[in-house]
């Protein structure tokens, strides 16, 4: 595949368009009448469409957000085929045999830099790391991806029917991406749900991962292990029963935003402005960052439902894993660092318990002035934590390195 800075080829966009639904289709014919229709229709999204988005909108929003990054980068749609070779169960059940693609951004780095692969969380995409690419690229060859079914990657029909199939969707598609990129011996970083996927991948393919960094990972503990009293009380109310029913019906937050149609962008903007502004635990977004991130988040949320539908199969109501990482902690073969913001709603005590069962080196680092999105709230502290976690790969004398000031061990 040809690499490009922030643009996707017409042929790839055309294939992806069909996966985003008829409201996001891109004409593939070249006749004058079709061209005229396309030009006319290009004026429609913001005016006449109920959900004003398309593949072009996602790609353009990503390009605008990454314009804040000073480091040169290339973006490619990595072909991962239509299913894992030799597998009886493909990561999606689909009538289409068209190949799928993983949206991948690679940032310029010094020669021989260790490779750092970054995996986003639920409802997010690789652009969420926009505040981190410059600093991390000074030490690593940074590669950030959109998981299958999210962001600018392909969005196949999601028809998994179990936790095992759902995990395979993400693990196997990532492995096919790794093969296509011919990677091995890399550092794997995952945030939230991306941390869950990264850990499950490292359990299945430890030979490819040098070090695992889990940032506020979801799915460490199960509900029974966490004993959440507030959730138990909530479930006893009719409100809790309604929320639990919606959860088990796979009613996702994205469906709310889609249902609001042309009012959706305003809701997303209000959330982004509040979460990373008035309610930020650290460094607030400036006006330009907030505007570009809000626009990017909106278009990635309201595109065709695909990866988002994993929710009820991976987690029970309250975001507790059905197959928690804690259960397999004794089987881990890759050295691991957990990173949590001081204000992260994900409880670091689950990582402490997992560490007791692990037979590989494990550190838990807490970063001040940071919540669940610690890499946005306190990017400097987050970068320091990552550099310290990877001192064996980037420091000439790792044994002399000390935990940076402000960070604490748990």
H/E stretch holding 65 reads helix 55-66
pLDDT score, position 56:
84
Predicted local distance difference test score (pLDDT) of residue 78: 97
d(CA 409, CA 339): 9
Cβ within 8 Å of residue 135, ≥6 positions away: 379, 380, 383
Averaged pLDDT for residues 311-317: 92
Res 197 pLDDT > 90: yes
Bridge pairing between strands 141-145 and 186-191: unpaired
Reported as a pLDDT band with limits 50, 70 and 90, residue 228 is low
Tens-place pLDDT, residues 119-148: 999 999 999 999 999 999 999 999 999 999
For residue 76, what pLDDT is reported? 96
219 Cβ contact list (under 8 Å, min separation 6): 193, 195, 196, 314, 315, 320, 321, 323, 324, 325
What pLDDT, in 10s, does the model give residues 315-362? 988 878 999 999 999 999 999 999 999 999 999 999 999 999 999 999
pLDDT at 94: 59
Give the global pTM.
Answer: 0.87
CB 77 within 8 A of CB 102: yes
Residue 18 clears pLDDT 90, i.e. is over it: no
What number is the average pLDDT over the span 205-209?
A: 98
DSSP structure class, residue 9: -
């Amino acid at each position: 595949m040809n690499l490009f800075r922030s643009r996707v080829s017409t042929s790839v966009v055309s294939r992806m368009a069909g996966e985003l639904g008829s409201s996001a289709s891109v004409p593939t014919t070249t006749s004058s009448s079709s061209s005229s229709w396309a030009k006319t229709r290009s004026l429609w999204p913001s005016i006449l469409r109920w959900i004003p988005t398309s593949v072009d909108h996602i790609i353009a929003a990503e390009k605008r957000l990454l314009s804040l990054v000073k480091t040169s980068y290339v973006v490619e749609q990595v072909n991962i085929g239509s299913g894992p070779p030799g597998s009886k169960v493909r990561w999606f059940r689909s009538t289409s045999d068209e190949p799928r693609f993983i949206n991948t951004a690679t940032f310029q780095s010094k020669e021989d830099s260790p490779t750092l692969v970054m995996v986003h969380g639920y409802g997010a995409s690789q652009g969420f790391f926009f505040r981190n690419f410059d600093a991390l690229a000074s030490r690593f060859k940074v590669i950030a991806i959109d998981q299958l079914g999210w962001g600018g990657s392909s969005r196949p029909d999601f028809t998994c029917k179990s936790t095992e199939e759902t995990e395979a969707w993400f693990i196997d598609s990532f492995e096919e991406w790794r093969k296509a990129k011919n990677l091995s011996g890399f550092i794997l970083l995952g945030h939230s749900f991306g941390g869950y996927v990264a850990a499950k991948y490292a359990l299945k393919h430890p030979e490819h991962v040098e070090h695992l960094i889990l940032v506020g990972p979801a799915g460490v503990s199960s509900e029974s292990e966490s004993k959440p009293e507030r959730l138990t009380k909530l479930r006893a109310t009719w409100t809790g029963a309604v929320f639990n029913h919606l959860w088990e019906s796979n009613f996702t937050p994205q469906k709310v935003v889609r249902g609001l149609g042309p009012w959706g962008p305003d809701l997303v903007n209000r959330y982004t402005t509040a979460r990373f502004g008035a309610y930020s635990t650290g460094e607030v977004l400036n006006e330009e960052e907030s505007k570009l991130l809000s626009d990017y988040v909106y278009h990635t949320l309201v595109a065709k439902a695909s990866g988002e539908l994993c929710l009820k199969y991976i987690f029970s109501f309250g975001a507790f894993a059905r197959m928690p990482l804690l259960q397999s902690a004794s089987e881990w073969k890759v050295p691991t660092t957990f990173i949590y913001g001081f204000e992260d709603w994900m409880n670091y005590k689950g990582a402490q318990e997992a560490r007791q069962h692990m037979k590989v080196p494990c550190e838990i680092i807490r970063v001040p002035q940071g919540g669940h999105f610690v890499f946005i709230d306190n990017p400097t502290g987050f970068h320091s934590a990552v550099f310290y976690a990877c001192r064996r790969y980037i420091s000439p004398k790792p044994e002399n390195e000390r935990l940076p000031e402000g960070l604490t061990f748990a």
